Structure 1
């Protein structure tokens, strides 16, 4: 599973941002709480939400476990952003962040499993990897999503980090034609500069697929592109989950001004 996979509807509000949603964000700010996990129990709350969304709702083939948690070896190295409902205190949204010093300690980024990141090594001291984002199905509103993004932006500012990376998955139920057409469209409009290109270890065979379909990015990827992210080359193919995974990169300084004041203020 790619790091940024989540329900396809989750960021539709972000990808179609308008004043009504910003108003919703302000109305909800007292009903939700932004925090970072301080102990193993709070991390487990995030992992339980991830399991509920990824496995039970989306049907991802996660390792079976009686605790019903989604976890991997990188969780112990990551900081875990939590959004809580202040009335129930339940975790309703989460992101995990792998900062530079913890990536060195772990020995790899999640994205290393799918891409060769050698060209980005000079950014390593200012680069964080984000992923495992999800929101409980009952709380998928503009306010909760904006809170997640705001929490990430404040984290970046507090620690002096400048670059955010991660993978975004695109389904391949049609055999990959949608993903190939999307790759062609993104390459024409949202491709990173050459110095930031990464190479997929198992490339999607784009040139063997139909690249001329009229397609739009799924909501998650569209949200990242609207914010100011770039895609750093052709997608990788994840045969286990039958997805095409796009490597995305966002420089904090490049956040679209339309959103910057809400994320960085």
Structure 2
């Protein structure tokens, strides 16, 4: 089981300069021994946030070909948007070299209800009308910008992230997680439309929680009969009891179809409650 270190969130932590510990170095491999030595912590300063942003850029731009609308003055090689400053950033690190911390190999950003109020709303509200979720807002967090380094996608990093997130939710009296699960559209969207039709029949949320996309994927113009597997992250959410809140939005910048997903702690199957919460 990876070591989980839940440090105070950025807003409550002292800011210190650790830039000397951020030198890039060769990425270690995801061996079983290395996965057992993963550490998880909340970013405590701007340098650590930038490490998460660098990993996001590597995955979203380098792998997926995303076109980012960056704030003026953003350093090269970072994925930054206006919501980052309001969010807590969860980091998974590979084993370090002596006293030096290991590189960030996985990340999530988390927007709490108070942070969403300060930011003027959630990131996913740019893609969906979330008005039906208003009754859940006081105990609802948004998960976003999740990614794992390509050398570390055997599952250990995601499990470490989820364990830390579940503990964070329980300790802070939070109940609901929402976010967008992205499906690549290199095939023009046919796989995403087919996946949506399957999930609509099997994992659609109750009518009172359903939301509408602002820029809908044109499902009716696409094939809907392909035998498509859900991406690994979405598949994991569904195993944990997540529900799809409605039809996918089209994100032209990231070239993805985004499915709105909600997971409530009360819906976690018993085996996952024991694994993540010890309950």
Give the equivalent residue in structure 1 for 2:42. 36
After superposition, residues 139-154 of structure 1 pair within 5 angstroms as: 139-154=152-167
After superposition, residues 79-118 of structure 1 pair within 5 angstroms as: 79-88=88-97, 89=101, 90-118=103-131
After superposition, residues 14-93 of structure 1 pair within 5 angstroms as: 31-63=37-69, 65-88=74-97, 89=101, 90-93=103-106
- The runs of 5 or more residues in structure 1 that have no matched partner are 1-23
Per-residue CA deviations over 1:108-134 (Å, capped at 9, x if unaligned) read 101100100000011100000001111
Secondary structure of the residue aligned to 1:169 is strand
User: CA offset at residue 164 of structure 1?
Assistant: 0.2
For normalisation by structure 1, the TM-score amounts to 0.85
- The runs of 5 or more residues in structure 2 that have no matched partner are 1-29
Contact 1:43–1:80 (CA under 8 A) maintained in structure 2: yes
Higher relative contact order (CA 8 A, sep 6+): 1
Give the equivalent residue in structure 1 for 2:136. 123
**How many angstroms apart in 2 are the aligned matches of 1:87 and 1:112?**
38
User: CA offset at residue 198 of structure 1?
Assistant: 0.3
Give the equivalent residue in structure 2 for 1:255. 268
Q: Is 1:201–2:248 an aligned residue pair? A: no
Larger Rg computed on CA atoms: 2
After superposition, residues 161-180 of structure 1 pair within 5 angstroms as: 161-180=174-193
User: CA offset at residue 213 of structure 1?
Assistant: 2.0
**How many angstroms apart in 2 are the aligned matches of 1:252 and 1:185?**
24
Deviates more, 1:133-142 or 1:179-188: 133-142
User: CA offset at residue 168 of structure 1?
Assistant: 1.0
Inter-CA distance 210–138: structure 2 relative to 1 (3 Å threshold): closer
Contact 1:25–1:144 (CA under 8 A) maintained in structure 2: no
Secondary structure of the residue aligned to 1:141 is coil
Deviates more, 1:169-178 or 1:44-53: 169-178
Give the equivalent residue in structure 2 for 1:215. 228
Inter-CA distance 155–223: structure 2 relative to 1 (3 Å threshold): same
Q: Work out the number of aligned pairs and report it.
A: 242
Give the equivalent residue in structure 2 for 1:241. 254
Determine which structure has the larger helix proportion and give its number. 1
Secondary structure of the residue aligned to 1:241 is coil
Contact 1:25–1:143 (CA under 8 A) maintained in structure 2: no
Per-residue CA deviations over 1:83-117 (Å, capped at 9, x if unaligned) read 11232422221110000000000001011001000
Inter-CA distance 237–58: structure 2 relative to 1 (3 Å threshold): closer
What is the CA RMSD across the aligned residues, in angstroms? 2.0
